Amino acid sequence: MKGLVKRLVAELARVWPRGPRSCERGYILAALLLIPSPAFAVSLKIVRPEPAESLSLPVGFTFVIGTVTPADSKVTCNGEECDVEDDGAFIGFVPIRCVQDGVERRGKICDAPFEFIARHGDDETKVIVSAMSPRSPSAREKPDEIFEKPKNIRVKNWLWIGLEEPRLGDIVLVPEGATLKAKSSSASSYRCRTPLGTEIPIAKADSEIVDGVDEGAPGAWEISTPDRETVKIMCDEWTKWKLPFKGKLWGLRLFQEDGRMRVDPRVEHPAGKLAGLRVCLDPGHHSDSGAIGPRGFEERESTLLISREVARLLKEDGAEVSFTREENPMPLKQRHDRMREAKPDLVVSIHNNSVGEGQDVRKRHGTQTFYLFPWSKPLAESVHHAILDKMGTDDLGCIQRNLYIARFPECPAILVEPEYIILPSQEKKFMNPDYRHKLAEAIVDGIRNFVEKKDIE
């Protein structure tokens, strides 16, 4: 308001000496200036954090994003200045400041306020968004229940459970109807042991407690693939196999037939070209939005647009393309089923990156690509380096990680994060059709190089 008054006084001083009619114009101008105008009001739209958002850290720093109007305003959050783009999109890396007495937002006690202040000249606006730290009473999970005696847990659906270090890349296959012993439970899962003693989580939604064990009920199978030439299968201490096959692994088909679990090794794809290759594209996210840029551009929209351009280019070279989802929502845990129906030779999941607490993405950002199994690594490296070469992004690594999509065992399956959509400059690029086309070209180049050269290792 102070800025409006100053402009009013200056304009009256300019027109007042010019006679009665000028004075009338001055009164009219004064009336108009006193009406609140969006052109002069400072406004903030906060994208992150959202009210009642759960933070992973109680102390430290995290990123905030949003937009400000006018675009040349100054924005601070919790005392730290944010970087503002020419169109008003901003990002900041700001301290997390927890308070003892939180406020209730969306039914949760939120103890981490973020105070945004936007200034434009003498005008100022303030917005406070309250998030929830791990210290909040609403964030504290109920402690695990330890069973006095192990309980029998029957699995209702087929499960592929990836193991972590030091057995990253190994999987446990738990067939429908299998019964395992659980020693404890959390809010969402049981902690079970396989016959070999490996501890695995079984979601409560995928299982039920039963009184006894049915005779002949299947057990859990542990599958180890240390390289592209070895498959080891273990059911218990006495039942172990090393599968014989010729060539290098392209994937493993795991299925149940006539009451028995079947393992079918797929060897290296013979085509050597894109024509006839079956490629399944997985546009990341939806029904959830995924990451969101400062201007509100959602990852699920961006990944679908990029995937469609990749599909168009692949089809031009004769490849057969399927999608895990397009406009319709597809929950993550249903995507393996969609892939299995498509019988693909390759799976490529396309995402836009985000970041959690403790990392200032303004200082280091670029391309990451993820895989799990040894037969997926060459495809991951090929697509990763094609993006680096064509897009000029920084190399953040080609990384083995137990991600759900990468856990699909039947063919090379990778997940690519070309860049960070939370960066205002990068969000703007993802919104540009020319940039998406160039990125799609890079992904197709990587797939083509992999198929034609076979090994990129």
Residues 59-87 have pLDDT tens digits of 999 999 999 999 999 999 999 999 999 99
Task: Judge whether 391 lies within some domain.
Answer: yes
Residues 314-338 pLDDT 10s: 999 999 999 999 999 999 888 998 9
Same domain for 193 and 115, yes or no, is no
Same domain for 156 and 244, yes or no, is yes
CATH value at residue 324: 3.40.630.40
pLDDT surpassing 70 at residue 307: yes
Lowest mean pLDDT among 178-187, 211-220, 297-306: 211-220
Q: How many domains are there within the chain?
A: 4
Return the pLDDT at 249.
87
pLDDT surpassing 80 at residue 288: yes
Return the pLDDT at 230.
84
Please identify, among 63, 97, 131, the residue that sits at the C-terminal boundary of a domain: 131
CATH value at residue 89: 2.60.40
Return the pLDDT at 454.
47
Query: What pLDDT band is residue 275 in, cutting at 50, 70 and 90?
Result: very high
Return the pLDDT at 165.
85
Percent of residues in the chain assigned helix, strand, coil, to nearest 5: 25, 35, 40
Task: Judge whether 432 lies within some domain.
Answer: yes
Same domain for 301 and 396, yes or no, is yes
Same domain for 330 and 359, yes or no, is yes
pLDDT above 70 coverage of the chain, percent: 87
Contacts of 193 (CB under 8 A, 6+ apart): 150, 180, 181, 183, 199, 200
Ordered DSSP codes for 305-363: HHHHHHHHHHHHTT-EEEES-SSS---GGGHHHHHHHH--SEEEEE--B---TT--TTT
Residues 386-415 pLDDT 10s: 999 999 999 999 999 999 999 999 999 999
Name the CA radius of gyration of the chain, rounded: 28
Same domain for 316 and 442, yes or no, is yes
Beta-sheet pairing, 230-234 with 221-227: antiparallel
Going by C-alpha positions, the residue among 346, 343, 372, 367 that lies closest to residue 421 is 367
Same domain for 309 and 427, yes or no, is yes
Same domain for 76 and 151, yes or no, is no
Question: Domain range spanning residue 26?
Answer: 2-33
Select the more confidently predicted residue: 439 or 41. Answer: 439
